[in-house]
Amino acid sequence: MNVKADCRRKLLAVGITKTLRIMRLTAILLLVGSLTVSAHGRAQERVTLHLKGALLKTVLDKIQEQTGYDYVFSGKEIQPDMKLNVDVQNATIQQTLDDCLKGLPVTYEVTGKIIKIINRPLAPGSQMPDGAAPGPYSLVVYVVGEQGFRLAGATINIAALKVEGVTDDQGMLEVKNIAAGTYRVEVSFVGYQRAEEQIDVKEMRQVVTIGLKPATTHLDEVQVIAYGQTTQRLSTGDVTKVNSGDIEQQPVTNSLAALEGRVPGMFITQGSGMPGSPYVVQIRGLNSLFNGNDPFYVIDGVPYSSELLQSANPASGNGGYGSPLNFLNPADIESISILKDADATAIYGSRAANGAILITTKKGVAGNVRLNINVSGGVGRAPMKMNWLNTSQYLTMRNEAFANDSMQPSQGNAPDLLVWDTTRFTDWRKYFMGGTAMYNDIQGSISGGNTNTQYLIGGAYHKESTVFPGSWYDKKGSFHFNVTSSSNDGRFKSIITGNYNLDLSSLPTTDPTYSLRLPPDAPPIYNNDGSLNYSGYALVYANNPATYSLRHYSAHTNNLIANGIFSYTILKNLDAKVNVGYTDLQLDETSTLPIASQNPAYNPTGSCVFVNNNIHSWIAEPQIAYQVLYGLSKVNVLTGGTFNSIVSKGQDLSGYNYTSDGLLTDLQAAPLIIAQSITNSNYKYSALFGRLNYNFDDKYLVDLNLRRDGSSRFGPNNEFHDFGSIGAAWVFSKAKFVRNLLKFLSFGKIKTSFGTTGNDQIGDYKYYDLFNTTYYPYQGQIGLTPSNLYNPNLSWESTKKTEGAMSLGLFENRLLLDWSYFVNRSSNELILSTVPGVTGFSYVTENLPATVQNSGWEGVLNTINIKSKNFTWRSSFNITEAKNTLKTYPGLETSPFVNVFVVGQPVTIKKVFRSTGVDPTAGVYSFLDSKGAKTNSPAYATDRVGLVNTDPKFYGGLQNSFIYKGIQLDFLFQFIKQTGVNPQFQESTAPGFLGYNTPAVALDRWEKSGDTKPVEKYTQNYGSFAWTAYTNAQMSNLNYTDASFIRLKNVSLSWELPKRLVTRIHVQNVKVYVHGQNLWTIAKYKGMDPETQSLSTLPPLKILVGGIQFSI
């Protein structure tokens, strides 16, 4: 007697409406073309029967017809009119009866030529619980969800009957042949709270409906994972989910901004406070030394490019790129899942070494038509934390610098002292970034539908201006729709989703923040007649600092993301599905340099940069999923294939020598056109994947993932590769001894995973021996020269991920703790490795066994601190501590990166001079050489023995949420412990030089012998010791400082008007709210912002937005 057999027997008591559709199956099988079935048995007693929903009596009559066997019913409770299915071809009587009586409460005996139908005996040794003796009653349970639609696949557990089953397509499960009485029925379904109800079975066919509420504990919320979904309770992988609720509370236009501080293991840095700013996203550290470290983005199953090809976007900084996620409306996002470990990412194969971010957009919900409108408006201001010298401090500095250098100010070297009006003072912070950015946003959607079809149509408009003087803006319009439908029998389902986003940006071509360093006594920007004051500035600068106001960057972006998921239930538990998607991102930019914006003294001509780039991709992913229930075991098998193509085209053209500003944006009118770069690349990817998921009683969980993929980026010798992972979890809180011993423990799980993933962000065509055109023609014809060596072995970078994790739920899961430890090792790094010049080249792009390790731990604590009828207080805390180490780098000494990397240190390590600070006697920074002796002139090659680690030491966030009746207050603190760039040394010139104001930290300087100060003496002379010392200090440990901070990232206060008030005005609900972003930052950091760590880019703005949301 084993457990399995027992379970099986009990399962047989469950009457499941069979829906075998053999004809269709046969068709499928013929299509596949690989089926041969043969049956064995004695020829004279063959039965061929294809009946559906036939009466038992009818079936037995047919058997009698074909074989001559008679039948009797033994026992009065046997109902000859019970319905059954039979589907046999040339089968024996035994086979036929086994097949058709399977799952029915009766069985048979064959004696001679008589078939005897008898009651199915109970398993020997099993105890029938009280009141659960077999009886004529049956219980029909319907499981319904939030809007009243039925839930197929919900698990029903009736402990007293030892019954566990799954609801069918109609959300129904029928339990037959039970006695009257009261049963405790447990229902669970992914994404819903478990429900338990006492059901009285009084009628012969007792029908009950059990409603499930959407999950509120994190444990049972739906988590979107690769090709499926799960819950935190049952997942074997490491997945963090951020919900629309958290995203909507943040007045951001890029959903990545909403993730800052919320996801353990994910470090996000905002590039700038300008609209369209890029975000650097790292999941569990830097894996690749030279290639892409972006996570793999997937929107509704469609891979999404992580970066724009090229862009003139001023927010991107020098030569950077914008963020494509800027072109997806955050309000359209239902949830974002961040996949980290091998178990969660290995099924993405060579693309997900850096983790994956799955974005799911909103879907329609069945029910009445619902119109939802959300209108908001607000303001944004730049933080004014950092002070610059005022006029008197500036003049003192300049004069002191001349004195220190033993030089006299003259009109030539000190027009700021001798020509300019030294009584003037302008706070350039206020001038250049003291404005108020205005935010206007309106979102509207209509949704509704019935059980078969649900839809959602939404549109949005967003406009924001900037804090800079001038009428700059970024406008977005977006459209989102979703239609979900299923056939009447629920077998065919389709989900069609589309997102379209249109963005218009009008911004200055450069970030005006750079001009904050103007001397405070600089002359007025404009002449009295309103023209730019060139002559006043000409003494110091080539140009007027406000010329940016005439240089116009304009960008026009269209982004389309469309996908469809079509699934068909071939057999019960066997689903075929295909996911097709298309994305098209088109960016057109112009960036002008008008004649009017240049000093007329130089007879300038105008120029304009024209960038357009287009990335379009399509994907098709056919899949087959199969579920086997076997007692308490659930096995899910998924196999599928991926075909993906991404075509990137771009061109960067410059028009020069315009003689009229009026024609600047017309490329045809340019006297000289130069193509700066033309991109045309095609990426193709195909794969097969499979997943096997085993679940025993929600207690033991095993997950196997496999993927074989091929990518056009790899050389012919290494085009295909296999990736895989194994994950396992044990829900130990289900173990009896744990339940008995640790009563406070409501949930406990330990899990581990191991596997490999790859990184293919190595650029297209790297392995080819490409020939590029020569700069000069020869004999009037362009030449072709090889640009690199052919490397047919080029392949992906691979990352081995190992993780161990534990989840604990205490006090009925009011306290949920997750803790994970991970070690990721990336190797096969793609490196420019040195080859001897005799090969014709100095370097070749090769996979080298260099290894980078990222390890660390992450902790998340979710608590429900108070939960009463009217008041709820929840908290969520997450923290990550991680370490990056370059483990090995063969040939580092001879590589061009010998000064960049240090084995045993993080890959971002900075090699610096060691400074002893300002020498009290000399008044300049002094240093130590490699042997520790004091020196004023450290040698770049040998004395940079100090190491500075700028990786974050730990980071995380704390969110609190208070709900009192309809009032909800949320606030999120983000914290980071890190070392960053010291603003004191960010200026290209030392304090005292002509034309540059300096951060006020420079006031604390050395003045006379014996002073012990952090800032050296002022200088204004490139020949002085102080200047040399300053440039050395920039390469020393002094250039780094504590850039840790705690930021009140988000505050959200909302009030949902009481129902009795809103029903009077015939609306369903009304909510008014105030959202704030980046409102308060605590940091020792002396610069403008510890996140952007720059004195030349606009820091993230403080934003406050108020709005009203209502639905009808």
Q: Which of residues 877-906 bind other proteins (CB under 8 A)?
A: 891, 893-894
Alpha helices in 160-275 (DSSP H): 244-248
The distance of closest approach from Cβ of residue 713 to other proteins in the complex, given in angstroms and rounded to an integer, is 9
Q: Which of 592, 711, 759, 1092 binds other proteins (CB under 8 A)?
A: 711
Q: Which of 10, 17, 21, 28 binds other proteins (CB under 8 A)?
A: 28
Q: How far apart (Å, rounded) are the C-alpha atoms in residues 216 and 214?
A: 6
The distance of closest approach from Cβ of residue 821 to other proteins in the complex, given in angstroms and rounded to an integer, is 36
Q: Which of 126, 368, 772, 937 binds other proteins (CB under 8 A)?
A: 772
The distance of closest approach from Cβ of residue 352 to other proteins in the complex, given in angstroms and rounded to an integer, is 17
- Is residue 585 within 8 A of residue 646, CB to CB? The reply is no
- Is residue 480 within 8 A of residue 334, CB to CB? The reply is no
Centre a 10 Å sphere on the Cβ of residue 450 and count the other Cβ atoms it contains.
11
1111 phi-psi bin (left φ>0, alpha ψ -120 to 50, beta other): beta
The distance of closest approach from Cβ of residue 614 to other proteins in the complex, given in angstroms and rounded to an integer, is 14
Residue nearer to other proteins on the CB measure, 35 or 939: 35
712 binds other proteins (CB under 8 A): yes
The distance of closest approach from Cβ of residue 781 to other proteins in the complex, given in angstroms and rounded to an integer, is 4
In the shown chain, the binding pattern of residues 1024 to 1053 toward other proteins, with x for contact by CB under 8 A and - for none, equals: ------------------------------
- Is residue 324 within 8 A of residue 305, CB to CB? The reply is yes
- Which residue do the tokens 């004529």 mark? 136
Residue nearer to other proteins on the CB measure, 5 or 204: 5
Diameter of the chain measured on Cα atoms: 127
The distance of closest approach from Cβ of residue 681 to other proteins in the complex, given in angstroms and rounded to an integer, is 5
Residue 112 contacts by C-beta under 8 Å, 6 or more apart in sequence? none
The distance of closest approach from Cβ of residue 560 to other proteins in the complex, given in angstroms and rounded to an integer, is 23
Of the listed pieces 515-523, 605-613, 777-785, 960-968, which binds other proteins according to CB under 8 A?
777-785
Residue nearer to other proteins on the CB measure, 847 or 1094: 847
Structural tokens at position 123: 């398993």
b/e for 417-434, b at 16 or more Cβ within 10 A? Answer: beebebeeebebbebbbe
842 binds other proteins (CB under 8 A): yes
Structural tokens at position 1077: 């972003």
Of 314-373, binders to other proteins (CB under 8 A) are none
Residue nearer to other proteins on the CB measure, 43 or 838: 838
Of 971-1030, binders to other proteins (CB under 8 A) are none
685 binds other proteins (CB under 8 A): yes
Kindly state the number of chain residues that form the binding site for other proteins, as judged by CB under 8 A: 76
Q: Which of 1, 3, 23, 32 binds other proteins (CB under 8 A)?
A: 32
Of 785-804, binders to other proteins (CB under 8 A) are 785-787, 789-791
Using H for helix, E for strand and C for coil, what is the string for 306-357? CCCCCCCCHHHCCCCCCCHHHHCCHHHEEEEEEECCHHHHHHHHHHCCCCEE
Q: How far apart (Å, rounded) are the C-alpha atoms in residues 327 and 325?
A: 5
The distance of closest approach from Cβ of residue 269 to other proteins in the complex, given in angstroms and rounded to an integer, is 32
Q: Which of 75, 245, 783, 849 binds other proteins (CB under 8 A)?
A: 783
710 binds other proteins (CB under 8 A): yes
Q: Which of 541, 566, 696, 720 binds other proteins (CB under 8 A)?
A: 720
The distance of closest approach from Cβ of residue 757 to other proteins in the complex, given in angstroms and rounded to an integer, is 18
Pairing relationship of beta strands 1040-1042 and 979-981 according to DSSP bridges? antiparallel
Of 610-639, binders to other proteins (CB under 8 A) are 622, 624, 626, 628, 637, 639
Residue type, 1079: L
Residue 663 contacts by C-beta under 8 Å, 6 or more apart in sequence? 669
Q: Which of 7, 483, 664, 687 binds other proteins (CB under 8 A)?
A: 687
User: Phi, psi at residue 453, to the nearest 5°?
Assistant: -135, 130
Residue nearer to other proteins on the CB measure, 373 or 570: 570
126 binds other proteins (CB under 8 A): no
Q: Which of 492, 771, 811, 897 binds other proteins (CB under 8 A)?
A: 771
CA 1063, chain centre distance (Å):
39
Centre a 10 Å sphere on the Cβ of residue 757 and count the other Cβ atoms it contains.
34
571 binds other proteins (CB under 8 A): yes
Residue nearer to other proteins on the CB measure, 315 or 625: 625
The distance of closest approach from Cβ of residue 674 to other proteins in the complex, given in angstroms and rounded to an integer, is 14
The distance of closest approach from Cβ of residue 929 to other proteins in the complex, given in angstroms and rounded to an integer, is 21
Q: How far apart (Å, rounded) are the C-alpha atoms in residues 429 and 421?
A: 20
- Which residue do the tokens 């000064």 mark? 899
Of the listed pieces 213-221, 570-578, 819-827, 848-856, which binds other proteins according to CB under 8 A?
570-578
Instruction: Give strand ranges (E) for 572-671.
Output: 574-593, 606-630, 633-658
Q: Which of 2, 23, 33, 318 binds other proteins (CB under 8 A)?
A: 33
Q: Which of 3, 319, 778, 1023 binds other proteins (CB under 8 A)?
A: 778
Q: How far apart (Å, rounded) are the C-alpha atoms in residues 197 and 387?
A: 65
CA distances for 520 relative to 402, 426, 525, angstroms: 18, 5, 12
The distance of closest approach from Cβ of residue 795 to other proteins in the complex, given in angstroms and rounded to an integer, is 13
The distance of closest approach from Cβ of residue 497 to other proteins in the complex, given in angstroms and rounded to an integer, is 24
Q: How far apart (Å, rounded) are the C-alpha atoms in residues 1082 and 879?
A: 18
Of 168-227, binders to other proteins (CB under 8 A) are none
Residue nearer to other proteins on the CB measure, 134 or 641: 641
Residue nearer to other proteins on the CB measure, 33 or 319: 33
Of 634-653, binders to other proteins (CB under 8 A) are 637, 639, 641, 643
The distance of closest approach from Cβ of residue 612 to other proteins in the complex, given in angstroms and rounded to an integer, is 15
- Is residue 441 within 8 A of residue 405, CB to CB? The reply is no
784 binds other proteins (CB under 8 A): yes
Long-range contacts at 920-924 (CB < 8 A, ≥ 24 apart): 920/1006, 920/1009, 920/1010, 920/1011, 920/1012, 921/1009, 921/1010, 922/1025, 923/404, 923/1006, 923/1007, 923/1009, 923/1011, 923/1016, 923/1017, 923/1026, 924/1006, 924/1016, 924/1017, 924/1025, 924/1026, 924/1029
Residue nearer to other proteins on the CB measure, 287 or 791: 791
Residue nearer to other proteins on the CB measure, 25 or 118: 25
Q: How far apart (Å, rounded) are the C-alpha atoms in residues 324 and 307?
A: 6
574 binds other proteins (CB under 8 A): yes
Q: Which of 405, 441, 764, 829 binds other proteins (CB under 8 A)?
A: 764
The distance of closest approach from Cβ of residue 574 to other proteins in the complex, given in angstroms and rounded to an integer, is 6
596 binds other proteins (CB under 8 A): no
Centre a 10 Å sphere on the Cβ of residue 528 and count the other Cβ atoms it contains.
7
Of 139-158, binders to other proteins (CB under 8 A) are none
Residue nearer to other proteins on the CB measure, 25 or 1057: 25
In sequence order, what are the beta bridge partners of 439?
Answer: 378, 464
CA 652, chain centre distance (Å):
30
680 binds other proteins (CB under 8 A): yes
765 binds other proteins (CB under 8 A): yes
770 binds other proteins (CB under 8 A): yes
**SS3 state of residue 244:** helix
The distance of closest approach from Cβ of residue 98 to other proteins in the complex, given in angstroms and rounded to an integer, is 13
Alpha helices in 380-422 (DSSP H): 391-404, 415-418
- Is residue 221 within 8 A of residue 190, CB to CB? The reply is no
Of the listed pieces 445-453, 499-507, 776-784, 1027-1035, which binds other proteins according to CB under 8 A?
776-784
